[in-house]
Amino acid sequence: MAFAATLLSAILSLIIVVPLLPSYDAFSQDIFNSLLRPGSVVDGRTYWLGTDILGRDILSRLALAGRVSLAIALSAVVISLFIGVTLGLLAGYFRGITENVIMGIADLQLAVPRILLIIAVTAVLGPDLVTLTILLGLTSWVSYGRVARAMALSLREREFVLSAITQGAGPAWNIRKHLLPNVLPQMLILGSYELGQIIVIEAALSYLGLGVQPPMPSWGLMINEGQDWLEIEPWLAIIPGVAIFMLVAGSQFLSQRFTPEGAPDTDITAIGSRT
């Protein structure tokens, strides 16, 4: 818990604070000061994490890349959470044909690996930040949908739903007022877990050149750029790798900390491992 919180708060404060500081520019190149080691001081300026092949300050690129990754991942989580919760609650509340159709689509989507689907679509549409975000959102709703449906199945039989019906409530009212508030905490925990997953996928796609495009920095892209220098200057690839680890591990551990123990409806790790 404390470990996860430390990891997460360290990387988050770096992402937030560094771009606000003066004299750090993620894009200005300085070819004479390329590939400086971390901690080098040149002309009275300290490069805490060194510079890359074009002489750009790695610390400020790392922070900016973090903002990009986080923005993509958060938007994707919001999109998928919205789709997943809506479809899951509809499936669980109405049962019957609605449930069969929605869960059929979910199973179909589970059968196709997320990353493969995104690579295929990006190959056709071309790499673009907005496209990537929407694609990540559209392909990640299944775990929310399944958990929301499972919870809705038990919630719809609860007496307070029946009691609301005897007070004249219809399906829309019940889903909004009685089901949604009961599933939302679980969905947010699941969201923090999915956040890590999506950051990893985004990094992988950027590494492959299908995600964030240069000169915009991205952790995956930085690993790709550092790959050529792995033998002589390994920190170029290691630093963004550590950043990914801190953010992803931090959010995963933290989300597991908040998962109710032994709750079958909310065993997010079991569902996550299948996606």
- Interface residues with other proteins (CB under 8 A) are 158-160, 162-170, 173, 177-178, 181-182
Q: Is the peptide bond before 19 cis (omega within 30 degrees of 0)?
A: no
CB of 99 to other proteins, least distance (A): 13
Q: Which residues, listed in sequence order, are joined to residue 241 by a DSSP beta bridge?
A: none
Q: Report the run of H or E that residue 34 belongs to, with start and end.
A: none
Residue recorded with tokens 């109405």: 94
Task: Tell me the CA distances in angstroms from 220 to 16, 103, 223, 224, 243, one per residue in order.
Answer: 19, 33, 5, 6, 10
Closer residue to other proteins (CB): 140 or 174: 174
Q: How many CB atoms lie within 10 A of CB 167?
A: 8
The helix, strand and coil proportions of the chain, stated in percent and rounded to the nearest 5, come to 70, 5, 25
With respect to other proteins, which residue has the nearer C-beta, 44 or 168? 168
What is the residue whose two structure tokens read 């949908």? 145
User: How near is the Cβ of 152 to other proteins at its closest, in Å?
Assistant: 14
Minimum CB separation of residue 169 from other proteins in Å reads: 6
Min dist. Cβ of residue 258 to other proteins (A): 16
Place of tokens 């470990």: 3
Which is nearer to other proteins, 48 or 94 (by Cβ)?
94
User: HSE of 212 in the Cβ direction (CA atoms, 13 Å)?
Assistant: 29
- Residue number with CB closer to other proteins (44 or 170): 170
Closer residue to other proteins (CB): 22 or 168: 168
Q: How far is the CB of 125 from other proteins (least distance, A)?
A: 41
Between 176 and 257, name the residue whose CB sits nearer to other proteins.
176
Give min distance, CB of 100 to other proteins, in A.
14
- In this structure, the strands spanning 45-47 and 40-42 are antiparallel
